[in-house]
Structure 1
Amino acid sequence: MSAITPYTHRARHLAYDAVSCRSSHTPRPGFAGSVARSGIVVAAVIGYFGVRGLTDSSQAAALRNAAWIQAAERSLHLDWESPLQGLVVDDHTVTRILNWVYIFGHWPVIALTLLWLLSRHPEVYTRAAGAMLFSGAAGLVVFAAFPVAPPRLAASGMTDTVTQQSHAYRVLQPPAFTNQYAAMPSLHVGWNLLMTLAILAATRKVWLRVLAVALTVSMDATVVLTANHYVLDALAGAVLAHLGWYAARHLRPRARHGAIAASGPRT
């Protein structure tokens, strides 16, 4: 074995962890550990909805801030909500599909992805959960300080397709825990993006990676086409998700010492 072989192995381990956010030497958590990890996320989500319901701000402030968002989009040539919805709003088959994506492509997808990560890729789960906690906390601060009425409430001529054509949304997210003025940033976009980043980090299976990208791209389009978010809301949600993803990377525990020590002595 050459003198540089230990360092080659060490570099390979570090590169693998950086790309995949995993360590092959990290054991999967036992039943108690899995319950504890999943319990933290469940408690955080319940707390998020509870606090979000309490931060339902005044209509006047939400409409005023929505007007500011609309003006900013006009100046940036991003005021696409009404023209885009006009292309699909009269096609009930299309709007039905969009409603399904908005409703069933969010929380069910998040729950299934986190369960899969917890059982198969615990380090990526830890990073995804940490990113959700970070972005959720930041989102609550913005919701309270800068309430924004969504296009369905503030933009003339826009149709709330989800509320008018579906009742399933209120089952998954009861009105008591819904802040209708929490449009900016869009955590529908942000948290779906986090699930996509987690899946891309956890697997090399092409079909899973393509599905993950398709899910987040479809949600990006859906939140605008259903009049639930402005384009700037979606962009802000994506930025917040990326910030949370990279912040969680530095907060997560690293289990590399064993792998480095096993690769050979240092000089």
Structure 2
Amino acid sequence: MTTSASAIRTTAHRDHLRWRTELPLLAVVYALYSGVRLLIRGEVGDAVRNGVDILHSEQLVHLDPEHWLNRLFANHALLGIPADFAYASLHYIVTPAVLIWLWRRHPAHYRAARTWLMISTLIGLVGFTVLPTAPPRLLHGGYGFIDTMAQYSSYGWWGADASAPQGLGHLTNQYAAMPSLHVGWSLWCGLVLFRRGRHWLIRTLGIAYPVVTTLVVLGTANHYLLDTVAGVMVMGIGFVLAKPVLRTVEALPVHGPAGERVTSVSGRAMEAPAAGKPRS
């Protein structure tokens, strides 16, 4: 077998191993996100009070576009129905699609971007724990919000319980509005597409997606404006922490049999020391 063919097979085998480690890693983080988000419901009374406090804070500085957008979406089905479909689906479709696109088209940048996303998601879980928050649609009628997900539920698979399929509302935490990871994840997707996309259409989608997502979460009364700001801040903190965390993880080797090539925790190839040979 030629050296070139051997190198190709080694690379293919290493890529296969990376997929075998990468997919479980992402699955574990997503399961942690979903599970913890479900478990940390908090007291309903506290969540409602926190939501009202956020709304009053916005009104004090006259930055509360939620009412206007919510009335617009509730009064015009041509806006409200697509917005509900977008809220119930894109969050769970676009982010994995961007991860796969980045892996295949820009693998040199994948690990850093994935780490950034994971750290930001875990920070968001802290926010859900510390500040359980009822979204605008769950405040009582005196606050003037309309639950468009319930209003247009006959058009989609969801019921009155946010974006959960009908009959499965008990499997979602409706009091995890702060921060908005819908906005945070969409911002991550947008920045990745804008920075790494080579075609103008991809870069344009990178700009449009987080903007549209922000309008959707506000218009469907699923988030306050401050939730979206917090979502942006969470992604900013995750971005700052990603590089030092990645450097720390990459420095941790996974030991294999003496003399064999092994990989670091991050999947990068390393040379294991031969038996009896001291480490340098």
Relative to the length of structure 1, the TM-score reads 0.79
Q: 2:148 maps to which residue?
A: 161
* Alpha-carbon distance in structure 2 between the residues aligned to 1:201 and 1:251: 22
Q: 2:219 maps to which residue?
A: 225
Asked if the contact 1:53/1:177 (under 8 Å) is kept, the reply is yes
* Alpha-carbon distance in structure 1 between the residues aligned to 2:108 and 2:210: 22
Mapping of residues 134-145 of structure 1, within 5 Å? 134-145=119-130
Query: In 2 relative to 1, CA 117–191 (structure 1 residues): closer, same or farther, beyond 3 Å?
Result: same
Deviation of the 1:171 alpha carbon: 4.0
* Alpha-carbon distance in structure 2 between the residues aligned to 1:134 and 1:188: 15
* Alpha-carbon distance in structure 2 between the residues aligned to 1:177 and 1:41: 21
Deviation of the 1:200 alpha carbon: 2.2
Give the 3-state SS of the residue equivalent to 2:64 in structure 1. Answer: coil
Q: Of residues 69, 80, 88 in structure 2, which corresponds to 1:84?
A: 69
* Alpha-carbon distance in structure 1 between the residues aligned to 2:147 and 2:175: 14
Give the 3-state SS of the residue equivalent to 1:204 in structure 2. Answer: coil
Mapping of residues 1-267 of structure 1, within 5 Å? 30-154=15-139, 156-165=143-152, 166-168=156-158, 169-171=163-165, 174-253=168-247
* Alpha-carbon distance in structure 1 between the residues aligned to 2:75 and 2:18: 50
Higher relative contact order (CA 8 A, sep 6+): 1
* Alpha-carbon distance in structure 1 between the residues aligned to 2:104 and 2:246: 17
Per-residue displacement from partner, 1:63-115 (whole Å, max 9, x unpaired)?
Answer: 11112101210122112211222223111111111112212221100111111
Per-residue displacement from partner, 1:136-178 (whole Å, max 9, x unpaired)?
Answer: 2111111111111000012622112124323253249x53442
Per-residue displacement from partner, 1:178-200 (whole Å, max 9, x unpaired)?
Answer: 21111110000001111111222
Give the 3-state SS of the residue equivalent to 1:229 in structure 2. Answer: coil
User: Which of 185-194 and 104-113 deviates more?
Assistant: 104-113
* Alpha-carbon distance in structure 2 between the residues aligned to 1:163 and 1:46: 27
Aligned residues between the structures:
229
Per-residue displacement from partner, 1:200-237 (whole Å, max 9, x unpaired)?
Answer: 23223211010121111100110000000000001110
User: Which of 150-159 and 48-57 deviates more?
Assistant: 150-159
Asked if the contact 2:47/2:133 (under 8 Å) is kept, the reply is yes
Deviation of the 1:120 alpha carbon: 2.1
Query: In 2 relative to 1, CA 222–212 (structure 1 residues): closer, same or farther, beyond 3 Å?
Result: same
**Rg larger for:** 2
Query: In 2 relative to 1, CA 41–48 (structure 1 residues): closer, same or farther, beyond 3 Å?
Result: same
* Alpha-carbon distance in structure 1 between the residues aligned to 2:65 and 2:193: 30
Per-residue displacement from partner, 1:19-77 (whole Å, max 9, x unpaired)?
Answer: xxxxxxxx896122023113211210011101111101111100111121012101221
Q: What is the RMSD of the two structures over their aligned residues, measured on CA atoms?
A: 2.3
Asked if the contact 1:81/1:231 (under 8 Å) is kept, the reply is yes
* Alpha-carbon distance in structure 2 between the residues aligned to 1:121 and 1:213: 19
Query: In 2 relative to 1, CA 83–133 (structure 1 residues): closer, same or farther, beyond 3 Å?
Result: same
Segments of 5+ residues of structure 2 without an aligned counterpart are 1-10, 251-280
* Alpha-carbon distance in structure 2 between the residues aligned to 1:30 and 1:105: 28
Relative to the length of structure 2, the TM-score reads 0.75
Aligned-partner residue type, residue 239 of structure 1: M
* Alpha-carbon distance in structure 2 between the residues aligned to 1:149 and 1:84: 18
